[in-house]
């Protein structure tokens, strides 16, 4: 049976994700995931699996430091899984805004073993 996920667990993970997003430091990125994690950038694509594939995908799609703002709220959590809604603004000209829905399956140590994101342009 999976460990109960609490809101504080999700807050810690999302804050670490945001640090990795801003730094693009491989150590920050790898620290988010279990060794065999699956990262679905879109639910209809094959996931990146494992540290090497996740890091390669992350760096291929990396944003520049300070390029975005991000806010989120934890929607729900339970047996090993949490749901987070986020809002991302790219500080470009003109600014681009995205809505995000994340499904995060956490291992007992707080790292993600599976992460799926849906993102869409906000209007």
Number of folded domains in the chain?
Answer: 1
Contact (CB, 8 A) for 90 and 71: no
Residue 3 pLDDT? 67
Question: Quick check: is 91 in a domain?
Answer: yes
- Reduce the DSSP state of residue 109 to 3 states and report it: coil
pLDDT of residue 111: 97
Residue 111 lies in a domain: yes
Rounded to whole angstroms, the Cα distance separating 22 from 123 reads: 25
The CATH number that applies at residue 61 is 3.10.450.50
Q: Is residue 115 part of a domain?
A: yes
The boundaries of the domain holding residue 37 are: 7-121
Phi, psi of 20 (to 5 degrees): -65, -40
Between 94 and 56, name the one with better pLDDT: 56
How crowded is residue 17: how many other Cβ atoms within 10 Å of its Cβ? 22
Domain assignment present for 1: no
Question: How high is the pLDDT of residue 44?
Answer: 87
Distance from the Cα of residue 99 to its chain's centroid: 13
């Amino acid at each position: 049976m999976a460990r109960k996920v609490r809101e504080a667990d999700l807050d810690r993970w999302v804050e670490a994700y945001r640090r990795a997003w801003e730094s693009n430091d491989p150590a920050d990125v790898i620290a988010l995931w279990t060794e065999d994690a699956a990262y679905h950038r879109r639910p209809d694509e094959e996931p990146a699996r494992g540290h090497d594939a996740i890091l390669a995908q992350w760096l291929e799609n990396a944003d520049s430091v300070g390029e975005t703002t991000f806010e989120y709220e934890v929607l729900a959590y339970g047996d090993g899984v949490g749901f987070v809604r986020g809002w991302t603004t790219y500080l470009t000209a003109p600014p681009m805004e995205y809505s995000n829905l994340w499904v995060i399956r956490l291992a007992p140590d707080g790292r993600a073993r599976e992460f799926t994101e849906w993102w869409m342009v906000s209007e």
